[in-house]
Every structure is written in C-alpha cells, then in structure tokens.
Amino acid sequence: MYDVTIIGAGVSGIFMAYQLTELHPDFKILLIDKGKELSERKCKARSKQMCSCDVCDQYIGFGGLGKSEGKFNYTNDFGGNLGRKIGSDRAGELMWEVDRILCSFGGDGAELYHTHSPELKRDAKKAGLEVLTTSVRHLGTKRSGLVFQKMYEFLRGRIELHFETDIYSIEKAECFNIITSKGIIQSKKVVLSTGNSGSEWMYDQCAQLGLLPGPARLDLGIRVEMRGNQLQALLKQTFETKLHIKRETFEATTYCMNPNGRIIRKYQHNLVMPDGQNKRERDEASSNLNFTLFVPTFYSSKEEADQVANQVIGRINRDTDRIVVQRLQDLRKKQTTTSETLRLNSIVPSLDSVAGNLIKEVPHIYLRALLEFFDCLEQLIGEQIDEETLLYGMDGKFYEAKIPTNDHFETKVSGLFLIGDCSGETHSLSQAAASGLYTAQMI
C-alpha cells in the first residue's frame, strides 16, 4: 500500500514528490505517468504530419510541459490563481522555493531577471494600460531538460516511478484502488497532476467518483509581429513586458513576448496556431519582436470552450496548417493583404502563412481589442506603430474547467487531490510547481 500515489509526472507532480521525500522520508510514494521517462522523450517533429508518436513525446512523459522552454515566472500578476486560492504572500514564498529547488538542480546557470519598473507602471497607467510584472528564470529547452533529468535521478532513489502506464479507473473504498495496465495499485491518498494533456481522462475519472467540472476559460488572440525596435522605449528597462487593457466589454493581456524571436506553428487540440519562439532557441536572431494579445472568455463547460476554439481556429486552419496574416494598415483600412504586398513588406514575416483578411476570419471582438490596445500602446511609446506590422490569426490558450477543491487542493472525495493545471487554478510552470509543494506540505 502506498501512502501517496501521484498521477502525472509534470512539474506539479515532480515538485510534490520532491517535497514529500523531504518532509516524509518514511512515506511510500509512487509517481505514475502514461508517457516515457525524460531520456526516452524523443519527438522532434515540428508538425503533426511529421510526428509518428502514438501519444506525442513533446507533451507527455517525465517533466510534462516543463520540457518546453522552461520559463519560470515568479509572480501573482498572471499564470494562475494560486495567490487567490492560498494567499498572495504564501504563493509568492512557494514560487521562490520552486526557484531555490530548480537552482539546486542546476537551474542557477540561467540568470534571474525582473520586469518591474515604477516609471513604466506610471506611464502605462496614463496611457490606459496596466503593466504586469514578474521575476523570471528562463531555463531554455536544453537546460530545462538537464534540470529535470537531475530531479529524476534524485527521485529515482527515493520513490517508485512507473512510466508508460495506463490507468483505467480509480475506485474509492477503504483506500484507493487504482486499476492500471500493469496491475492494481492501492494507495491511501491519490493526487492527480495530469495537466492539460490529461484533461479528458481526468474528467472521466472524476465523473466516476461523482465530481463534476464547472465553467471553463478560453483565451484567443492575434499574434503580432513588429519591428524589433518598436518597443525599445519600454524594453530598455526590462527584457520583456506584459501589458493589460481593460474595457467594459473585454480585457486583454499580452502573452509570450519575444524580442528578436520568431513565430512558429504550435499544434494543440488538433488545431494549428502561431506561437512565439524565443531567440535563444535558434542560432540566428530575427530582427522582429512578437507577442500575442489574448482576450479571455468564459464558457459553461470545457466542451463549449473547445467547441468555440474549434469553430474559430479550425475555420482558419481548414483541416490544414493554414494560418492567416494581415498587415496592420490593411486591417485598419479593412482591406485584404495580398501575397504581393506581403512579399514587399519591410517587416519580413518569420512564419510562412497565407496573406488574407482577418476581418473575414476572426470574430470582431479580438480585432477591436487589438486596435484599442494599439491606440494605448502608441500613446505609451510616443510613436506610431509601424503600419507594416504583421498580425497572425489566431493563437489560443486552453484552460481546464475547475473541479472544485478546498484550499488544500483536496476534492470532495476525501484523500483525492488535484494539483497543477488540472486543478484549473494554475496556468504556468512556477504556480503548478508551487501547488505541488503546497499540497505536499498540507497532506
């Protein structure tokens, strides 16, 4: 019988397991993942067509999505509701504890930087924007892999790890009986940390235990590619910035700003979206800067949110990897960008996409949010945004519908916990990891 079984070896599950070994060396702990161990996660495909994984190694396996660019933002301003759930101070302390642990496994090779600037905050307010700030440890894909490998080696000697294991059902009696492809496991407590990739499975398991999800959030937005020096006035104080605009009918926030980065295709939920790639991921820097302006909306269920994403992004994709790009001046004049104007554009697109007219492709609210945001941004930087700025439709960020948990992340089923992104409370590496530490301390 295990004391604690953690299902999902992403950042939240790993940090929880780590903390349990520190606090309860006598506990019998099992960490199960349906994917592979880190060294076996080999998919390098940049497109779905090129990927031959049954369950793609890019998203599944030890490290979870922490195997991505590994950008740990230490903030309550964005990246989840951990601060609201357990208190901002506690959440802040835990995120710094995550950083300390990362550093002890080699994360300190990546420099810590901060995006706080009182002057910028003041100027942004005058222009009708709010600046969201953070401290960042950006590991990058390679270092992220090394850090998680070291964490794996640390855990391997202290807990049991089962990979490539399917879990068919979880039953609650005196203890939990977990029916897996490799036999039946018994555990006193069960923690689900299956992130976004395990959402369908998680909802099924929770439904069988009588737990039903609530409303779900979906962020959609246009990815913007501008002249590299356009935001110089803001970025001379910080490497990147996050700006927020709030109006009566919408609010929007910039996401994943990449000075000198490129735009690449992101494949998720059977949809193809423009995604930002940091300059550190390539040998050759681009002379552009990119970010997405996301507008969040809330739906009564995850299915409804997914349906909207499919309607909006799927309609653009047309069952291919089609992404549409339009120049800012064409959007403002309500005219189509042609491939000829795009060829002559002074801002060279870093993504191969189809020139077109976003007005015909994207719901009006996202374009309105973008244009109103640009008006404020022009005021903030004191210059016009280049009319040849490129706008790509359209990016999406998906969230889990929340299954209610108490302030210890425990569900109504006693002994069953949900942590990380599958709890619907975190949407970032640092907050997911911090939720793992917190729950380990509370269990």
Ligand X SMILES: Cc1cc2nc3c(=O)[nH]c(=O)nc-3n(C[C@H](O)[C@H](O)[C@H](O)COP(=O)(O)OP(=O)(O)OC[C@H]3O[C@@H](n4cnc5c(N)ncnc54)[C@H](O)[C@@H]3O)c2cc1C
Which residues are at the interface with ligand X (CB under 6 A)?
Answer: 7-13, 32-35, 60-61, 64-66, 68-69, 71, 73, 79, 167, 193-198, 201, 266, 420-422, 427-430, 432
**Interatomic CA distance for residues 17 and 159, integer angstroms:** 8
Closer residue to ligand X in complex, CB, 79/213: 79
Closer residue to ligand X in complex, CB, 114/360: 114
Considering Cα of 135, then 234, then 70, then 201, what sign does the dihedral take? positive
Min separation Cβ 259 and ligand X, Å: 15
365, two tokens:
């609210």
Backbone angles phi, psi at 266, to 5 degrees: -115, 130
Closer residue to ligand X in complex, CB, 193/254: 193
**Interatomic CA distance for residues 97 and 119, integer angstroms:** 29
Closest residue to bound ligand X by CB: 10
Closer residue to ligand X in complex, CB, 64/349: 64
Min separation Cβ 275 and ligand X, Å: 7
Min separation Cβ 193 and ligand X, Å: 5
Closer residue to ligand X in complex, CB, 367/440: 440
**Which residue, chain included where needed, has tokens 């396996």?**
61
Min separation Cβ 11 and ligand X, Å: 4
Min separation Cβ 327 and ligand X, Å: 27
Min separation Cβ 214 and ligand X, Å: 18
Closer residue to ligand X in complex, CB, 280/327: 280
Question: How long a stretch of residues is the chain?
Answer: 443
Min separation Cβ 312 and ligand X, Å: 18
Contact in structure between 251 and 244 (CB atoms under 8 Å): yes
Closer residue to ligand X in complex, CB, 189/427: 427
- CA nearest 19: which of 421, 419, 424? 419
Min separation Cβ 67 and ligand X, Å: 8
Min separation Cβ 363 and ligand X, Å: 23
Min separation Cβ 376 and ligand X, Å: 26
Min separation Cβ 201 and ligand X, Å: 4
| Angle, CA of 165, 408 and 421, to the nearest 5° | 50
Closer residue to ligand X in complex, CB, 12/317: 12
Closer residue to ligand X in complex, CB, 264/365: 264
Closer residue to ligand X in complex, CB, 152/374: 152
402, two tokens:
């929340």
Contact in structure between 414 and 92 (CB atoms under 8 Å): no
Closer residue to ligand X in complex, CB, 159/422: 422
